Amino acid sequence: MEKETTRVEAFSDGVFAIALTLLILEIKVPDLSSFSSNEKLFSALTALWPSYFAFILSFSAVLIMWINHHGFFKYIRKIDPAFLFANGFLLLMVTFINFPTAVLARYIDTPAFNIASAFYCGSMVLISVAYNVLWFSAAYKRKLVKDEISDALIVKIRNAYWFGFSVYLSAFVISFFLPLAGLLICISLWIFWTFLDYSKKK
């Protein structure tokens, strides 16, 4: 059983690594003529700030997702087909995050910022749904979790995931009216995930 969970975690780690790597492809080298000056190159590099911002934003988000995914597997004693499909749905959403990141970078400094922000926050809602489904597939009736994991901890994690979903959903709605506020709400929630304790079993 441990070998099966290790294989699934290793495969998932590979997908997370690819998703993190692909984020950098959004930042394009400025296309200037061979006679361009230092000043023009500096100006072109500076103009790429939306891409830098979106890259750092999504890299941080995916990194925190991976850390929580890694901690998640410390609770699992075995896997089943439902868990594999749930994990696949999560990985689908993790790889998809590259697209809303590109959209955000392209439109963050335009009048379309509201939709770009809402699209980005909406992708976080779907990722939150994926985490909730994954935890449900493992913890429902304790079918996949280790025996030493307490019921109280199972409930605590379930409540944390539900809390995350409600906050992401709020950020999604707010983004249509206050796009920067929506993004800041997402960032504040990532700080919450950073301190979510997976080390205690009771």
The per-residue pLDDT for range 64-116, each reduced to its tens digit, is: 999 889 988 989 999 999 999 999 999 999 999 999 999 999 999 999 999 99
Predicted structure pTM score:
0.90
pLDDT band with cut points at 50, 70 and 90 for residue 35: low
| Res. 199: pLDDT tops 90 | no
- Percent of the chain exceeding pLDDT 90 equals 71
CB 172 within 8 A of CB 118: yes
Cα–Cα distance, 59 to 192 (Å, whole number): 16
Least confident stretch, 16-20, 80-84, 120-124, 189-193 = 189-193
CB 114 within 8 A of CB 177: yes
Cα–Cα distance, 202 to 200 (Å, whole number): 6
Least confident stretch, 4-8, 9-13, 59-63 = 4-8
Per-residue model confidence (pLDDT) at position 166 = 96
Q: Tell which residue, 96, 82, 90, has the closest CA to residue 137.
A: 82
Return the higher-pLDDT residue of 202 and 94: 94
CA dihedral 97→98→100→106, nearest 10 degrees, is 160
Q: What are phi and psi of 43, to 5 degrees?
A: -65, -40
What the block records as the tokens of 101 is: 């990141």
